[in-house]
Amino acid sequence: MSTKKSPLNRLRRSLGLDTQNEWPSVARERLLAYGLLAVYVLIIWFPIYYIFVTSIKPSSEVLSLPITFLPQSPTTQNYVDIFTNRPFDNYTINSMIVATTTTLICITLGTVTGYSFSRFDFMGNKSLLLSIVGARMIPPIALIVPFFQIMSNPPLIGGFTGSLYDTRLALILTYTFFNLPFAVWIMKNYFDGIPESLDEQARIDGCSRWEAFVKIILPMAKPGIAATAILAFIFSWNEFVFALVLTSSEQAQTLPIAVSLFVADDFVDWAHLAAGGMIAALPGILFGLFFQQYIVSGLTQGAVKE
Amino acid sequence: MSIEKSPLRRKLDKLFVPLTVGPTLLWIAAIIVYPTAKLLVSSFQFRNPVTNEMEFVGLRNFQRLIFAREGGNAALGIFNPSFVSITTNTVIYVGFSVSISFLLGLGIALLLDKDLKGRGWFRTAVIVPWILPYVMSGLMWRWMFQSDFGAINGALQRLGIISGNIPFLSDGALAMMALIIADVWVFTPFIIIILLAGLQNVPEQLYDAAEVDGASRWSRFWNVTYPFLKPSILVALTIRIIFDIRALDLVWVMTQGGPGKSTEVWASWLYRTAQVFNEPGSGAALGVVLLAVTFAIVASLYKIFGESPYQA
């Protein structure tokens, strides 16, 4: 009664409860859920925090005891170093070119093909779609031997290009392998959700198939395309194994490789590694913070049908 | 205004499907079918160390990988001991990682499914680990587990739980544990996303009805939530398992399969055989085994859950 303004009552009110009432189980449950989620988030973000802190410590502080969880003399030196002493500008450009080009190829082909699979009943479309989806089950790592052989000595185009080993093109071609089937699948499912009567209406209004697709359906598919693009970009940006097998110099190596290069046999340059790691992680963190709903919807469309 | 305005237009319309599907099929044939065919061929070949030519050797690569060499030390009678130990490591790694992250992910998904304020923020916060480059995450955990300056030893000492440094990554069992923790950290968000989507399919009225009937929380989960969640669980587990078997990134940057061979799994073995030891034939044979195992796992998971893959 005298506790009208007590913190407990304020909490009750913020949980949407009448302060006069008993402490109902719903509120207790909610409070527990908040508590558990908060603990979980703190635990999983701690390593990210620690690697970030490491990246802004001078090397001497990184390797001194006792270890510090707050930087004593924060500095951006590590970031400056990796762009001056190491070709991190090249690595970043390589990563951007490879991820962007792969994404463009995948959303272009994925969109038009996904649309046809959604709308048309053509010869063998069911089994074709099945095999495209089934291709996702092939473990990419099983294919490092053939991909290495093919890129070192490309058939058909080899006469024009020579070996593609250690080129960005090799990575782009390879990355479409993971992403294109995925893109077709997400877009097919997305188009399935757009009523076919819209196509028909457009056709009655005098549009050709192409016009109906480009003018009417494509604009409606923007969220699906965005989700596909973001996922394809992230997957390509983060890829490591094929970049390890198919590249050997800064003319094609991407950021994940660059970060791993800080590990020497018996010595790891942790301060600079942390800075490089933060650069490599930046798009992921930004996409996660600002486009979370696209990532979730893309992944859900791609993994679970309906 | 008529649709049949020009013959060119009609022709283009007729070609709609071939023009939109054709390029993708050709691309996929070039980038997936052809390499897979080449994988099969390479698995029957052996690189002659003298001439550097690939020679046809039949099933010898598979034999060498899986079965004991004549006169060699044989585990379980006939199997190659390294095949047995690496397979055991793979099963431990995948088994623990997938089950822990599944239970954790299910718990978090159930919490996030509640009508909480700020749910969007929590959702964003929990999915970020999955979006980061695996290499960066692996190295980050290697740094966390580093024995002298790592945060885990540091924190445990500050809390007074341990007095000396624990050499996490130079002890076989601890290194495997570290690897599993990193894997759970990276992939639990994936489970959360898929299960959260599945939870949206559970009709709200059923919960209310169960509540009225006085069903316990446990029976509400099994009788209401689980049946609707089953398809999502199936997808989450399938993808999680097959992606864990093939995952090289974390293992390679955290332990390189070491110390000794205590964290060597199929993926790192394959990479080592094919690239480091430059035995493309054996590497390809391992790739074929991996491919077969992947399909077997997918098929049996769908059998267990009683659903055919990709129902139309």
For an interface test with A, which of B116, B126, B128 has the most A Cβ atoms less than 10 Å from its Cβ?
B128
| CB-based contact A274 B122, cutoff 8 Å | no
pLDDT score of B308: 47
Which two tokens mark A121? 């009943």
Chain A residues with CB under 8 Å of B142 CB are 268
Please report where in the chains the tokens 């399969």 appear, as a residue. B257
For chain A, positions 77-106, list CB contacts with chain B under 8 A: none
pLDDT score of B275: 79
**Helix (H) / strand (E) containing B54:** strand B54-56
pLDDT score of B5: 61
> Does the CB of A287 have a partner CB in chain B at under 8 Å?
yes
- What average pLDDT does range A199-226 have in this prediction? 89
Nearest CA in chain A to B230: A304
pLDDT score of A2: 44
Gap between the Cα atoms of B36 and B31, Å rounded? 9
DSSP B67: B
- A211: buried, middle or exposed (CB in 10 Å: 19+, 13-18, 0-12)? middle
Half-sphere exposure (Cβ direction) of A305: Cα atoms closer than 13 Å: 11
To the nearest whole angstrom, how far is the Cα of B100 from the nearest Cα of chain A? 14
Sorted by sequence, the CB contacts under 8 Å of residue B264 that are 6+ apart come out as B85, B86, B89, B257, B258, B272
Gap between the Cα atoms of B184 and B186, Å rounded? 5
pLDDT digits (tens, 9 = 90+) for A5-43: 666 666 666 666 655 555 567 777 788 888 999 999 999
pLDDT digits (tens, 9 = 90+) for B1-34: 444 567 888 888 888 888 888 888 888 888 888 8
| CB-based contact A47 B141, cutoff 8 Å | yes
Higher pLDDT, A159 or A282: A282
On whether the CB atoms of residues B44 and B59 are closer than 8 A, the answer is: yes
pLDDT in tens, chain B (312 residues): 444 567 888 888 888 888 888 888 888 888 888 888 888 888 888 877 777 777 788 788 888 787 766 555 545 567 777 888 899 999 999 999 999 999 999 999 999 888 788 888 888 889 899 999 999 999 999 999 988 888 888 888 888 888 778 888 888 899 999 999 999 999 999 999 999 888 887 887 777 777 777 777 788 888 888 888 888 888 889 889 988 998 899 999 998 887 888 899 999 988 888 877 778 888 888 889 998 998 898 888 877 776 544 433
Chain B residues with CB under 8 Å of A135 CB are 28, 32
For an interface test with A, which of B131, B246, B305 has the most A Cβ atoms less than 10 Å from its Cβ?
B131
Higher pLDDT, A60 or A216: A216
| CB-based contact A296 B270, cutoff 8 Å | no
Gap between the Cα atoms of A218 and A221, Å rounded? 5
Which two tokens mark A28? 């207790």
pLDDT digits (tens, 9 = 90+) for A232-288: 999 999 999 999 999 988 899 999 999 999 887 678 888 889 999 999 999 988 988
For an interface test with B, which of A11, A246, A304 has the most B Cβ atoms less than 10 Å from its Cβ?
A304
pLDDT score of A18: 56
pLDDT score of A255: 94
pLDDT score of A206: 85
pLDDT score of A14: 64
pLDDT score of B17: 85
CA-nearest of B161, B163, B167 to B145 is B167
SS3 string, chain A, reads CCCCCCHHHHHHHHCCCCCCCCCCHHHHHHHHHHHHHHHHHHHHHHHHHHHHHHHCCCHHHHCCCCCCCCCCCCCCHHHHHHHHCCCHHHHHHHHHHHHHHHHHHHHHHHHHHHHHHHHCCCCCHHHHHHHHHHHHHCCHHHHHHHHHHHHHCCCCCHHHHCCCCCCHHHHHHHHHHHHHHHHHHHHHHHHHCCCHHHHHHHHHCCCCHHHHHHHHHHHHCHHHHHHHHHHHHHHHHHCCHHHHHHCCCCCCCCHHHHHHCCECCCCECHHHHHHHHHHHHHHHHHHHHHCHHHHHHHHHHHHCCC
pLDDT score of A159: 65
Chain B residues with CB under 8 Å of A122 CB are 17, 21
pLDDT digits (tens, 9 = 90+) for A105-158: 999 999 999 999 998 888 788 888 888 877 778 888 888 888 888 888 887 776
Nearest to A144 among B19, B235, B275 (CB): B275
pLDDT score of B72: 52
pTM for the model stands at: 0.87
Nearest to B267 among A141, A295, A303 (CB): A141
Gap between the Cα atoms of A127 and A175, Å rounded? 24
| CB-based contact B310 A255, cutoff 8 Å | no
Gap between the Cα atoms of B109 and B198, Å rounded? 10
What is the distance of C-alpha A92 from the center of its chain? Answer: 16
Nearest CA in chain A to B34: A146
pLDDT score of A37: 92
Gap between the Cα atoms of B207 and A241, Å rounded? 46
pLDDT digits (tens, 9 = 90+) for A185-202: 889 988 998 898 898 888
For an interface test with A, which of B2, B17, B103, B158 has the most A Cβ atoms less than 10 Å from its Cβ?
B17
Write the DSSP assignment of B250-290 as a string of letters.
HHHHHTTT-STTTT--HHHHHHIIIIIS--HHHHHHHHHHH
Half-sphere exposure (Cβ direction) of B253: Cα atoms closer than 13 Å: 30
On whether the CB atoms of residues A62 and A271 are closer than 8 A, the answer is: yes
Can you tell me whether residue B161 is helix, strand or coil? coil
| CB-based contact A256 B136, cutoff 8 Å | yes
Gap between the Cα atoms of A185 and B128, Å rounded? 24
pLDDT score of B217: 78
Half-sphere exposure (Cβ direction) of A203: Cα atoms closer than 13 Å: 12
Q: Is the ipTM of this complex over 0.90?
A: no
pLDDT score of A94: 94
Half-sphere exposure (Cβ direction) of A7: Cα atoms closer than 13 Å: 0
